[in-house]
Amino acid sequence: MSTDSTDGTDGPVSQEITVTVDGETITRQVEPRLKLSDFLRYECDRNGVRVGCEHGVCGACTVQQDGTSVKSCLSYAVQADGAEIETVEGLDDDGSLHPIQEAFHESHALQCGFCTSGFVMATKELLEENPDPTREEIETGLADNICRCTGYQNIYEAVERAAEKMED
């Protein structure tokens, strides 16, 4: 894809997009090749969106787009035009942690923390679809996320704890 402008001017082509990120409407001019993960990090200041592998295998960049988990490193920002995006930063409630975030903290479900936001967002979708998952369903639901530091046991326990908290 050429980055040359087709209107006779020099410079890259850009497109205006409007995205609702964590309840905030954001309009920006972006290049069509800008990844959604980079848009969220650099244009929307959502640093909880991590970029690990840039191939969609680690899950660190997981966000919810219109209620469905997506790997933001595999999408372009222009594809999210008009969408509602939720990041880990949007989960807090007036400064209080979301029950999933509380459960991850209480269960010590992180070490370096790089993958945590992706796991939290994947857990959110999992529990919205299945509020009382079995251990096997949790393992399957989080299979698209990779943690290089833990043995996953505490992460699975955090999901079970979050399910209990959200049930109350």
129: pLDDT strictly greater than 50: yes
* For residues 4-15, average pLDDT: 69
Q: Which of 64-78, 129-143, 147-161 has the lowest mean pLDDT?
A: 147-161
Question: The whole model's pTM is what?
Answer: 0.89
10: pLDDT strictly greater than 90: no
1 band by pLDDT with thresholds 50, 70 and 90: very low
CATH of span 99-167: 1.10.150.120
Backbone angles phi, psi at 35, to 5 degrees: -70, 150
Of 100, 143, 147, the residue nearest 120 (C-alpha): 100
* For residues 145-161, average pLDDT: 92
6: pLDDT strictly greater than 60: no
Q: What is the pLDDT of residues 14-41, one digit of tens each?
A: 999 999 999 999 999 999 999 999 999 9
Which segments of 2-118 are extended strands (E)? 15-21, 24-30, 62-65, 68-71, 84-86
Q: Where are the domains of the chain?
A: 15-88, 99-167
pLDDT at 149: 87
SS percent in the chain: helix, strand, coil, step 5? 35, 15, 45
pLDDT at 111: 85
Q: What is the pLDDT of residues 42-101, one digit of tens each?
A: 999 999 999 988 888 899 999 999 999 999 999 999 999 999 999 999 998 788 999 999
* For residues 123-147, average pLDDT: 96
3: pLDDT strictly greater than 60: no
CATH of span 15-88: 3.10.20.30
Higher pLDDT pick, 4 / 102: 102
135: pLDDT strictly greater than 60: yes
